Amino acid sequence: MSESDPLREDAPWRHPEPGRFIGRGHPSGDFLEAYDWRIVEERPGYYKLDAHLPAQVENLRGQLFGGFAPTYVDLVAIRCVNTLRAPGEPRTWHVTLSMHIDYLGPVLGPRFFIESSVLHERSRTYLVETRFVSAEGELLVFSLTTIKRKER
């Protein structure tokens, strides 16, 4: 792997600043500007993030373009599953098997919250709920994602 390879164990995105969700250098994370998201709460199987809406994901009305919502969901759900990894346990890859998204209201900037929690774990398969919530507490997007941890 080259020094600029984002998959390296020492890639900058794997080592964010304290209180940040992800560092720079992750292709999807950089597009969503996830390096600016703040962790509101983190525990095994759960994240609450303070995110923002970058201009490149807005539709013509200044709302989150619905096609980008799965990118947010996939990034956050997989990282949420990773919070279950025991300290010192080697990293593994994950595959998204299915994703269901309900759009309940427009996601507007500048800020909104993303909450993600592992609802069920069986063998190497995880069911993850992800919700986008407005600053006023209104549920905007609801998603269920099935993720499988790949064999080493």
Q: How far apart are CA 80 and CA 76, in angstroms?
A: 6
Average pLDDT, the chain: 92
Residue range of the domain that includes 51: 12-149
Note the pLDDT tens digit of each residue in 91-108.
788 999 999 999 999 999
Determine contact, residues 5/25, Cβ cutoff 8 Å.
no
6 — pLDDT class (breaks 50, 70, 90)? low
Q: Where are the alpha helices (DSSP H) in the chain?
A: 27-31, 69-82
Number of domains in the chain: 1
Domain-embedded: residue 109: yes
The SS3 assignment for 16 reads coil
Provide CB contacts within 8 A for 65, sequence distance 6+. 57, 58, 59
Domain-embedded: residue 53: yes
Domain-embedded: residue 7: no
pLDDT of residue 15 exceeding 90: no
pLDDT of residue 4 exceeding 90: no
Whole-Å CA distances, 95 to 32, 79, 140: 20, 12, 25
Q: How far apart are CA 59 and CA 149, in angstroms?
A: 33
Domain-embedded: residue 6: no
Question: For position 1, what pLDDT does the model report?
Answer: 47
State the Cα angle at 39 between 103 and 98, rounded to 5°. Answer: 40
Domain containing residue 140: CATH number: 3.10.129.10
Domain-embedded: residue 78: yes
Domain-embedded: residue 1: no
Domain-embedded: residue 137: yes
Higher pLDDT: 108 or 2? It is 108
Domain-embedded: residue 58: yes
- Residue 33's Cβ-count burial label (10 Å; 0-12, 13-18, 19+) is middle
Note the pLDDT tens digit of each residue in 41-92.
999 999 999 999 999 999 999 999 999 999 999 999 999 999 998 888 877 8
